[in-house]
Structure 1
């Protein structure tokens, strides 16, 4: 956030090493050294992922106006001498237009891939190659591109070279590119260098030249003027087999029960939800538990658009005070399964294991 010029201030503290009277209202840039110190001293999460602090963003490059705090109140919700808790209550805010707004370039995922430098992947290089040999590969690759000769993308990746490849030169009509961990020499790929005008295109066409392997193990194109063979398209096949499901439950000696794999099947989401809740109730009662002793439920649904129908049936079963907490998540369930339930219950008088 600091590197991206996000101006955020601390508006709540609730951790050892953070004091409301000292740290509330300070920016993250001001707090960074102290947060790092508290991490080493008390194990504080510098990013506040454990709820150590909360922030409020006043300005960032995406904002057309910045937020100015004119009046604020400090509220101490816990005056604990070791770990006090406090927060800021903004009573008056205003927007101030920025005088000069610099254009912000928002990148997509492909832009980040384009910005990657192959030097970032030095740890993926062949460990047998020395720094001098790696530099030679880089210079050769850069020289081929600068000279108007297009190469396939695989020929400029560091992890695509081995010691045997260093004998190739940039002026040759073909460069032998072999994987450093190739199993046999016959698997060596010969990449044909395409002269201009094809090199002017930003898109490199990867082709495979017809090659012959001599007794010495070297390969080369059989004909420099012959047509190039285009690589066949990549085909992917997928296999699947149905797995039988059986809901399971386990109870420990301390009275906790975990229920998993409760599927709801039916013609529609209402019937599926009713079926799942019936199965859950039967499993709970067979182990001397009740629905009121369920602490929380995880509900997986195939289509969140049918949540209202699912919740309608769910509300009729848990129609009592203090129902269990619930998490509802949409996920790609099979076509014949609209709902999957998981639950955790507690009964201090129960014991045993199933």
Structure 2
């Protein structure tokens, strides 16, 4: 793709450009935002402005045109979300917000380079910055795919990789404990040991993601010439016993020839699978032939339950309230008043019309709407209908859309092309809701350039969207089913970890995975998936194959607390579907729920907020998070034409409600 690079002049924006080129993309322009007037530094939530007087030299060093715009706005919206959760107003924002300056900047670039397809962004950890860049880049009139190859990388590893790649950057601003004006002008190589020490002592971010310092890149594999800093002036903005804030003013920086000329573009690409991912792959690959031959013997391990299709009556749409949760099941788009065929698009609209009606009629202090939905399971007659369904679905939500899992069920009733099961949460009075909706391509996990979030947290419950084994950098699907298995579990794990990290500083204890569904398209893969899931409860000490893991890689059990029976592995339901029933014809898809580990505030329900048919026996379930004890294990097989449940382990009643595929039977 043709790429415009957002350029601050710092190490992150420059190093991400190196990865863009290495991934086969073409850099055609650079763009930057600068402070107004004669200001050197602007207290911006979004942009690095110190060193702006040398950014043009970075562009000249790469031989690329630079588009510049002055920052006119301020941080009007400082929330974790940018935009509205309501679809009709999701793109409307304050024209006085500094984020809108980025919109005008990219619009200028598009006007001069209409064939640009992507934008390079050097974000590593800041969801605040990422959310706003994605919100602007993906607006219909801009329509640029964000490329964020540094996203969620280990900062110590990333720092070392920058040095190995030949990136030379100097500190031009310091604002963290342990750093002062004496560190200004030093290179990353000179500062590495000190920054690692400050990280271990105070929790400082090695790459400066906490605002500890900012940099100017003076050499890079992409530079045809290097920057000679020349004379500088130190400006002390503030000084205290905890740390000074000071920066360099560059007076006569200039370009000089490089001794070796343009060097080869080299940046270490992280391995597709990390330590736990490789462990998962080994488990999936073990005894592969035996698992296929033993597939027919699964009935010997679980009890069997056969259900005849002729005895089934398709249930009607329903809504049930459990405390603050509302569970809507078996929602179709068919009209009982019109026997004529209904298009797929109309069925989507009709189904969500039913959901709106159910939500608005739910007993609550205020009417609920689409913005209160937290998770959706979408069942299609065929995955060939996915694009048509999504064309309507994507218009229904604003920012922070609910998580989603999508599979195909060929046994839907005649004329019915889709069924929706949804979970909503009554947040009246308001409960905090945080969504992770990463839409940029990276080495981390697949981008969701679409109408659903990777994860969503509300009332301390975490919903993780269905994950298939895509390669994050280019969204391709590997052919090897074992690799898909390992990748898809890794995606779910990384999403959960990023979700928990984003809640730092909010009294979040280490959480745990509650359970999930594993969707498969071949009964022969059940044993492969089971082994992959079972090994997630292992620690590095359990792995006796002698493989040396890379320093700093996560190898511990990520599932969190053990169950009541001491088991490290969480409950998992394995469901077998016909071929081509999963998105992209994937072999496997995982969807999980988890808990933050934090006790939510108590909810006092009044008589007008509790449905009259709720019995007093349900009082203990009226608070979110109360479904995390009393794990019960059950095993059985059920076959209903288009899918087969071959192994179940169930826990609390709310988990049963979430994984409501049983209602489809």
> Considering the TM-score relative to the shorter chain, is it more than 0.5?
no
More strand by share: 1
Q: TM-score scaled by structure 2?
A: 0.21
The structure whose Rg is larger is 1
